[in-house]
Amino acid sequence: MKAKWLVLALVAMFTVVVAGCGVAAGDDNVIKIGHAVSLTGDSSMWGQSEKNALDMEVEKINAKGGVLGKKIKLVPYDNRADATEAVNVTKRLISDKVVAIIGPAQSGVAIAMAAVTEVSKVPLVATTATNPKVTVDDKTSQVRKYAFRTCFIDPFQGTVAAQFATRDLKAQTAAVVYDVGSDYSAWLGKYFIAEFEKQGGKIVGNEAFRSGELDFRAVLGKIKGANPDILFVPTMQKEAALVMKQSADLGIKAKFLGGDGWGSPDLITLGGSAVEGSYFVNLASADDPDIQTFVKDYKAKFKEDPVMPNPIMAIDGLYAIIDAIKTVNSTDSVKIAEQLEKIKDLQVLSGKLTIDPATHNPLNKPAVIQEVKDGKFIFKAKFVIQ
């Protein structure tokens, strides 16, 4: 008997909760925008900052009267940067009736989420997911109708790095050290090599290592013999810092160059003086003169620096979604997705955004080159490919 009452009580509680959700979903005075973001775990540093930035922007937009006479309501859920968790979060967001979803930051997570949003016809605007497969289905090579992003993609990043190396650093030879266990690292290395050779440069070394490697001196010893002008290290900050430290041990004189995986303050704490004078391609920089108002407002509100580049990419996504809602004068997800595809020269936080209808990637959105100098990331230049 007791069990029966317990079950009844649980059912009653569940009904109340579900009914509660129903009431919230039926609210006509708000436009809900989902935010799939990692608020706990290793990537939470960026995720928290991303959420702060969106909260701040949404507050500003609502203070100015909102959109279509309605207030914007952000619905943030923690995806823990995990693909399985993110799929659950996506389903919850869709049942909450959001018009579009901002996030996630990771390519693997974005690919998993896109499978759900594609069926539910809710546009997904990824922030820093740079793998081409996020917006283009790998199997069919067709663009995913409901997947978009505001960041550049890895081939673009590799191209930028190679052109920067040949044009600005005047490099003639280069070597690559990459993580064979990471798609990001392996492909970024390949894109760099392709463009570097196209620019007339010579690749004198291309060495792989296994994920989790600590000692790179064996392969670095080989690279030292080839004496390249540039050593391209398309990895995350931890491996990059170790590679640079151990290169210093071996007396390698090359200049170091990397991708957006380097963009964490850890690079400097782990690498110390060995990372000085290195360059990397990033999505955004806090020193970018174009975003100083945002950085100032953020610091005033949250008493800390925004953690780049996620806040910028998320706000770009928010602007794109809002622009689409205004243009189609509707909160219908399908119409919003159709309009997102047509965005051209929209002024967003990081510059001008044009979405390529064929791939749903931004078209030649400027990349930022950062330099490590005096223990800080310095804004070196905005870079567009030629």
Partner 1 sequence: MFIQTLVTGLAIGGIYALMAVGYSLVFSILNFSNFAYGSIIMLGAYMGYFAMTEIGMPIGVAIVLSIVGSAALCFLNEKLAYSTLRKRKASSLYFMISAMGTAIFLENLVYATIGSRFYAFPQVLTQLNLEFMDISIGVLDVFAILFSFLAILTLHYFLQTSKIGIAIRAASYDMQVCELNGVNITKLIGWVFILAGALAGISGMFLGMKYMVYPTMGWITNKAYIAAVIGGLGSLPGAVTGGLILGVLETFVSAYVSSVVRDAFSFTLLVVLLMVLPTGLFGKFLEEKV
**Residue ranges that bind partner 1, judged by CB under 8 A:** 42, 180, 207-210, 213-219, 221-222, 224-225, 238, 241-242, 245, 248-251, 266, 269-274
Contact 152, 368 (CB under 8 A): no
CB of 281 to partner 1, least distance (A): 23
Q: Is 335 exposed, middle or buried (0-12, 13-18, 19+ CB in 10 A)?
A: middle
Q: Which is nearer to partner 1, 136 or 243 (CB)?
A: 243
Those residues with Cβ within 8 angstroms of residue 256's Cβ, 6 or more apart along the chain or in another chain: 230, 231, 233, 240, 243, 244, 247, 275, 277, 278, 279
Q: Which is nearer to partner 1, 175 or 349 (CB)?
A: 175
Other beta carbons less than 10 A from residue 29's beta carbon: 9
CB of 42 to partner 1, least distance (A): 7
> What is the C-alpha to C-alpha distance for residues 117 and 269, in angstroms, rounded to an integer?
39
CB of 209 to partner 1, least distance (A): 5
Q: Which is nearer to partner 1, 85 or 316 (CB)?
A: 85
Q: Which is nearer to partner 1, 232 or 294 (CB)?
A: 232
Strand pairing category for 147-149 and 100-102: unpaired
CB of 106 to partner 1, least distance (A): 17
For 121, 161, 163, the CA distances from 194, given in Å and listed in that order, are 36, 11, 11
- Which residue type, as a one-letter code, is found at position 30? V
Strands (E), 187-254: 202-209, 230-232
Q: Which is nearer to partner 1, 251 or 289 (CB)?
A: 251
Cα-Cα-Cα-Cα torsion 204, 157, 84, 74, nearest 10 degrees, comes to: 160
SS3 332: coil
CB of 214 to partner 1, least distance (A): 5
CB of 235 to partner 1, least distance (A): 13
Strand pairing category for 71-78 and 124-126: unpaired
Q: Which is nearer to partner 1, 60 or 222 (CB)?
A: 222
CB of 272 to partner 1, least distance (A): 5
Q: Which is nearer to partner 1, 241 or 308 (CB)?
A: 241
> What is the C-alpha to C-alpha distance for residues 130 and 367, in angstroms, rounded to an integer?
12
Return the HEC string of 20-83. Answer: HHHHHHCCCCEEEEEEEECCCCCCHHHHHHHHHHHHHHHHHHHHCCCECCEEEEEEEEECCCCH
Tokens 């690292």 belong to 185
CB of 250 to partner 1, least distance (A): 5
Q: Which is nearer to partner 1, 207 or 287 (CB)?
A: 207
